[in-house]
A and B are shown apart, each in its own frame.
Chain A
Amino acid sequence: MPAPAVEIRDLWFKYAGASEWTLRNLNLRVEEGEFVVVMGPSGCGKSTLLYILTGIIPNMIKGEIRGSVYVLGRDVLKLPPSEIVKNVGFVFQNPDSQIIMPSVYEEVTFGLENMGLPPDEISRIAREVLEYTGLWEKRDLSPWSLSAGERQVLAIASALALRPRILILDEPTSMLDHKDTMRVLKLISKLKEELKMTIIVVEHRIEWAVEVADRVVIMENGEFIAQGTPAEVFSRVDVIKRSGVRPPMIAEVFYYLIERGCRVDRIPVTAREGLEVLSRVLSRGVCA
């Protein structure tokens, strides 16, 4: 059995100087190739969790950690950042916090140069990544002449250039407008489908999440209050209703019908599933 991509056991975390635990007793196992969407209200600990997976905690931000976190079988709490970045790519909420170079091309090659790759290899990878993300034509431009969405795509491209096996993204669309959001979400879906990468993303767009996620994790007050396939998670009506998370609209339709006596074996979460279940129910004329 290969080691899971991520294995978190009984994880607790408290920021230095804080009186309360930010993360409380988290357990999670993510297999390689899985697509996990983490959701939860602001301040619930989502970003803190990602900081631990990427080594930002404890290397740059200090605090008290209990429990264990293994990434691809290695204890990330003990690994230096230089080792973590070989396997784990991180994309921040705000692309501007990670863009530093004067051109799109150099932004992508920066990390590769730091890793000491030979120049031929660097230009080959940079071209491949920029073509893949649709930024090749803009390679000579300043990142600051790009739209916010293109800068986010560039941040993703720079992360991809390092060939991580796991890509972690923290609310990559929250600062973007509608069009740019669609572009970034499409790219992330493509990484899953074509590259079979392990992806862990914090994202609020629920209708997108239920289409792409193998697993949804819902966080509140530092705890995981639900995890499983989108269908499993959104079937837990009470937990979802109590949480700050917006369920897919079609799931909410079924919450309403179930309260009025409708019986279904599973709650649909995507439009396609909703259509299937409702066509069946309507053709029978009864909801049972």
Chain B
Amino acid sequence: MSEPLISVENVWFKYTKKQDWVLRGVSLEIKRGEFIGVIGETGAGKTTLAKHLNGLLKPVKGRVLVLGMDTRRTPTSKIARHVGYLFQNPDSQIYSATIRDELSVGLKKLGFRDAEIEERIKWALEVVDLKKPLDMSPHVLSFGERHRLAIATLLAIKPDVFVLDEPFAGIDYKRSLQLLQVFKELTKKGHAVVLITHDLQLISELATRVVFMKSGVILRDSKPEDVIGDVEFLESNNYTPLQVTVIGVKLGLGRPIRVVDLARELEKRLQL
């Protein structure tokens, strides 16, 4: 077994002393090649957990190890090389005067040579399909374009773990799926992805594992079928199960969570 990229060990966290615990004993291991979908209502602790993965927040009790480094004792800048974080709102992370600076500033800090930086920038912009002059200000881009720029900036660094916190507001489904496919490809090269979203269909298409959080604890951490395919579990937690699952279960065709699961099962039964 390879060493986990990140291990979250019995983490407890609250923002202020007087406040209730936001995380209550969360444990989680993230390994190379995994694509983990995190779901749960607002207030469940998803973003708080995500910010522990790159050291933005440090546990009050318990610990988080990133490639063996304890986040409480390692500078966040050192962790950032290994764990990239994409915020919900692109404007929380766009600071530079030009698109080129925005993309290169992190790479320079990490000590990459100019040629390597140019190459990575070119690749990242191609992947997100952003064709704008590099000396343009990022602030005149549309919301969707700023979002893609933020994604490109993260991609260019190629950290071991990508933490994507509700990254697709303002981006339509087809493009979201295309962008996520890029991340999916990276998991095949040994990176890991943690995706926080309410979109069960996106998770069912991509995740190798699903973590369901509620009130600061992990209620389920299992294969997508075992979480997204569990109609009763989802309904009792105020989530609407996917159409294909509802139909598949009622017809006695197992617990399909993807279009292709149900379609293939029907194909077999109908001998098409």
Interface residues in chain A, defined as those with a beta carbon under 8 Å from any beta carbon in chain B: 40-43, 174-175, 177-182, 204, 207, 243-246, 248-250, 252-253, 256-257, 260-262, 270-271, 274-275, 278-279, 281-282, 285-287
Contact = CB atoms under 8 A, between A and B. Distances in A.
A42 B143 contact: yes
Nearest to B145: A43
Contacts of A204: 172-173
A179 B269 CA distance: 37
Given A182-B238, A252-B259, A278-B251, A42 B269 contact: no
A274 B170 contact: no
Nearest to B177: A246
Contacts of A182: 238, 240
Given A42-B143, A282-B266, 18 more contacts: A40-B172, A41-B175, A42-B144, A174-B169, A179-B238, A181-B198, A204-B172, A204-B173, A244-B172, A244-B173, A245-B174, A252-B263, A253-B244, A253-B266, A257-B266, A257-B267, A270-B243, A278-B266
A244 B174 contact: yes
B188 to A, nearest CB: 24
B30 interface: no
Contacts, number: 102
Contacts of B170: 42, 174
B21 interface: no
A253 B272 CA distance: 13
B222 interface: no
10 contacts: A40-B172, A41-B172, A41-B174, A182-B240, A244-B172, A245-B174, A256-B267, A261-B272, A271-B246, A278-B251
Interface in B235-272: 238-240, 242-244, 246-247, 250-251, 259-260, 262-263, 266-267, 269-272
Contacts of B242: 249
B98 interface: no
B41 interface: yes
Contacts of A262: 270, 272
Interface of B: 41-42, 142-144, 169-175, 198, 201, 238-240, 242-244, 246-247, 250-251, 259-260, 262-263, 266-267, 269-272
B198 A177 contact: yes
Given A249-B242, A260-B267, A287 B171 contact: no
**Shortest 7 CB-CB distances between A and B: which pairs?**
A41-B172, A256-B263, A177-B42, A246-B173, A244-B174, A249-B243, A260-B272
A275 B142 contact: no
Contact of B270 (A42, A175, A246, A287): A287
Contacts of A278: 247, 251, 266
Contacts of A250: 243-244, 247
Nearest to A181: B198
B244 A249 contact: yes
A175 B169 contact: yes
Given A43-B144, A274-B243, A278-B247, A257 B272 contact: yes
B243 A248 contact: yes
A207 B240 contact: yes
Given A42-B172, A207-B240, A256-B260, A285 B270 contact: yes
Contacts of B266: 253, 257, 278, 281-282, 287
B174 A274 contact: no
Contacts of A275: 247, 250-251
B243 A286 contact: no
Instruction: Name, among B143, B240, B244, B263, the residue most crowded by chain A CB atoms within 10 Å (CB to CB).
Output: B263
B174 A43 contact: no
Contacts of B262: 249, 253
A22 B114 CA distance: 40
A78 to B, nearest CB: 31
A287 B171 CA distance: 36
B261 to A, nearest CB: 9
B263 A253 contact: yes
Contact of B174 (A177, A246, A279): A246
Contacts of B172: 40-42, 204, 244-245
A282 B262 CA distance: 13
A275 B250 CA distance: 8
A248 B201 CA distance: 11
A187 to B, nearest CB: 16
A257 B263 contact: yes
Nearest to B266: A257
A179 B42 contact: yes
B42 A249 contact: no
B157 to A, nearest CB: 26
A180 B238 CA distance: 11
B198 A178 contact: yes
A82 B144 CA distance: 33
B92 to A, nearest CB: 15
